[in-house]
Chain A
């Protein structure tokens, strides 16, 4: 054979195809192991929502928050949570109460957890937690400037940016 049938582009392409195939196979194999881990099985067995769709469940809590009676709202919410312990909507209301009581750390953490796990809570979170994002980000940015190496502030800011991206109402 006088001429080679493969040029440089062929060699590069075939090499890349092989590398990507090995990489993808490796990733799938590693993921398979992770999928069978006890933590993953636990996550799969996550409880279903309770009381969702029942608008009256949180009506009292909502009304108390709107009238700025936060301690009473917290008590009412705790009672509802005892009755419906697996209802994720309670997390949004809890975050809203903490936010209004000035406990931004707990509010941010609950906000992120609730909308990350349940996209259907986005509308509820938008209605109740928009001011957490609007007021919280400038505040945390200032804190970050003052304490650039504070890991806690960085994490809170990162979580709040996540909430902002989610509440920004872009495509999902």
Chain B
């Protein structure tokens, strides 16, 4: 199905064009440098606006995230792809969302931002991208080894409307600006493109991302598993378009040093994004894809999104997020516990392993029965 479209005109490539172009333009129009679109940064901003952390400099209701959800919801609903399902290991998925943000906070950006940073010439994104791809490879070892979370099931339609409705309410808050929502007036919170443009960009990208199933993780995963380059072309297009726009607007500056919103702890950037890559495979979607899936009726992704939102609050409150000076101690420990979580979940949910244990237990029972029979027979003989 994916391979029928011509590479230069399919929905994944269009999503890549939109992400690449808006990723740079939104920065030019006011968003923080190299963060025209970033799921993790924006969720931290939304968490701050909702009082989930106290860093006012990172508190703003980002219309891009609201737009992504509403755009994806509208396209899914109108095209009949709004299918409500869930119930697959919900608590595990919540913590997956949390650790997706922990990993991204170590690098200061989600996988989409890592491509945008690289396209602006920021070479500190290279180890992060390598980490992300390595994490995907590592996660695939569990998938190949029989990893699967509990089976999801069809749910009532109202369940799937919760996340789009929540975003609708956030949009209302953004327009009305009630006193209980925090809108920072300094730092990244004060840096934002005009509301309408950000919202429209989010809706457009969300719509096409829903249609194409665009996902940073799946782009590499599908290529590794089946040499399917449909989504990978979208990622490459995003990089090329963003690079083109950055060069043409004078926002391209090649180098490791002095890049905005970056640090030089490359090993930790690698490990942070390794965690994001690995968990994305187990959760079946990168942070960007989780947002889109939450909008199309996938309640498990809705829970992952809520985990990411809570994570956005905690990484700020507990000083887990890296700063320009480098990673914090809390961040290092959080990433290590994230890696433990990744491997523990990967190992615990391997169905083949469980089957092997079941087979071994059956064999043990059989052995025991034979053993008893043997001795009882021996007893009779005696």
Residues of A within 8 A of B (CB): 1-3, 5-7, 9-10, 13-14, 16-17, 20-21, 23-24, 27-28, 31, 116, 119-120, 122-123, 133, 137, 160-162, 164-166, 168-172
Q: Which residues of B contact A171 (CB under 8 A)?
A: 32, 35, 38, 41, 58, 108-109, 188, 261
**Contact of A23 (CB < 8 Å), options: B109, B262, B336, B360:** B336
Is B111 among interface residues, defined by CB-CB distance under 8 A?
no
Residue of A nearest to B31 (CB): A171
Residue of B nearest to A16 (CB): B343
Q: Which residues of A contact B261 (CB under 8 A)?
A: 165, 168, 170-172
Choose among B323, B325, B340, B346 the residue with the greatest number of A CB atoms under 10 Å from its CB: B340
A31 close to B329 (CB less than 8 A)? yes
Q: Which residues of B contact A137 (CB under 8 A)?
A: 258
Residue of B nearest to A160 (CB): B258
Complex-state Cα separation, A16 to B339, whole angstroms: 9
A20 close to B359 (CB less than 8 A)? no
Residue of A nearest to B34 (CB): A170
**Contact of A170 (CB < 8 Å), options: B35, B186, B325, B347:** B35
Q: Which residues of B contact A23 (CB under 8 A)?
A: 336
Residues 243-262 of chain B: 1 if any A CB is under 8 Å from the residue's CB, otherwise 0? 00000000000000111111
**In the complex, how many angstroms separate the beta carbon of B64 from the nearest chain A beta carbon?**
13
Complex-state Cα separation, A112 to B329, whole angstroms: 21
Choose among B41, B109, B333, B344 the residue with the greatest number of A CB atoms under 10 Å from its CB: B333
Complex-state Cα separation, A24 to B33, whole angstroms: 34
A21 close to B32 (CB less than 8 A)? no
Task: Pull 24 A–B residue pairs with CB atoms less than 8 Å apart, ordered by A.
Answer: A2-B363, A3-B359, A3-B360, A6-B353, A9-B141, A13-B347, A17-B344, A24-B333, A120-B57, A120-B187, A162-B324, A165-B260, A165-B261, A165-B262, A168-B258, A169-B33, A169-B191, A169-B260, A170-B188, A170-B262, A171-B32, A171-B261, A172-B188, A172-B324
Is B168 among interface residues, defined by CB-CB distance under 8 A?
no
Complex-state Cα separation, A164 to B57, whole angstroms: 19
> Which chain B residues (53-73) contact chain A, with CB distance < 8 Å?
57-58
Given contacts A2-B363, A7-B145, A20-B340, contact A168 B346 (CB under 8 A): no
Complex-state Cα separation, A29 to B332, whole angstroms: 14
Complex-state Cα separation, A169 to B344, whole angstroms: 38
**Contact of B360 (CB < 8 Å), options: A1, A10, A161:** A1
Residue of A nearest to B359 (CB): A3
Is B364 among interface residues, defined by CB-CB distance under 8 A?
yes
**In the complex, how many angstroms separate the beta carbon of A116 from the nearest chain B beta carbon?**
6
Complex-state Cα separation, A2 to B261, whole angstroms: 56
Residue of B nearest to A115 (CB): B324
Q: Which residues of B contact A13 (CB under 8 A)?
A: 343-344, 346-347
A172 close to B34 (CB less than 8 A)? no
Residue of B nearest to A112 (CB): B325
Complex-state Cα separation, A172 to B300, whole angstroms: 30
Residue of A nearest to B262 (CB): A165
Is B81 among interface residues, defined by CB-CB distance under 8 A?
no
Q: Which residues of A contact B257 (CB under 8 A)?
A: 161, 164
Is B356 among interface residues, defined by CB-CB distance under 8 A?
yes
Residues 359-374 of chain B: 1 if any A CB is under 8 Å from the residue's CB, otherwise 0? 1100110010000000
Q: Which residues of B contact A119 (CB under 8 A)?
A: 57, 187
**In the complex, how many angstroms separate the beta carbon of B91 from the nearest chain A beta carbon?**
19
Choose among A5, A23, A168 the residue with the greatest number of B CB atoms under 10 Å from its CB: A168
Q: Which residues of B contact A120 (CB under 8 A)?
A: 57, 186-187
**In the complex, how many angstroms separate the beta carbon of A168 from the nearest chain B beta carbon?**
3
**Contact of A5 (CB < 8 Å), options: B188, B340, B344, B357:** B357
A122 close to B260 (CB less than 8 A)? no
**Contact of B58 (CB < 8 Å), options: A6, A20, A165, A172:** A172
Q: Which residues of B contact A160 (CB under 8 A)?
A: 258
A1 close to B340 (CB less than 8 A)? no
Q: Which residues of B contact A7 (CB under 8 A)?
A: 145, 353, 356
Q: Which residues of A contact B325 (CB under 8 A)?
A: 116, 162
Q: Which residues of A contact B329 (CB under 8 A)?
A: 27, 31
Q: Which residues of A contact B142 (CB under 8 A)?
A: 9
**In the complex, how many angstroms separate the beta carbon of B114 from the nearest chain A beta carbon?**
12
Complex-state Cα separation, A95 to B369, whole angstroms: 84
B343 close to A17 (CB less than 8 A)? yes
Complex-state Cα separation, A9 to B15, whole angstroms: 36
Complex-state Cα separation, A123 to B347, whole angstroms: 48
Is B222 among interface residues, defined by CB-CB distance under 8 A?
no
What are the 9 closest A-B residue pairs judged by CB atoms, nearest first?
Answer: A170-B261, A168-B260, A170-B260, A164-B258, A161-B257, A24-B336, A171-B261, A13-B343, A171-B41
**In the complex, how many angstroms separate the beta carbon of B192 from the nearest chain A beta carbon?**
12
**In the complex, how many angstroms separate the beta carbon of A109 from the nearest chain B beta carbon?**
15
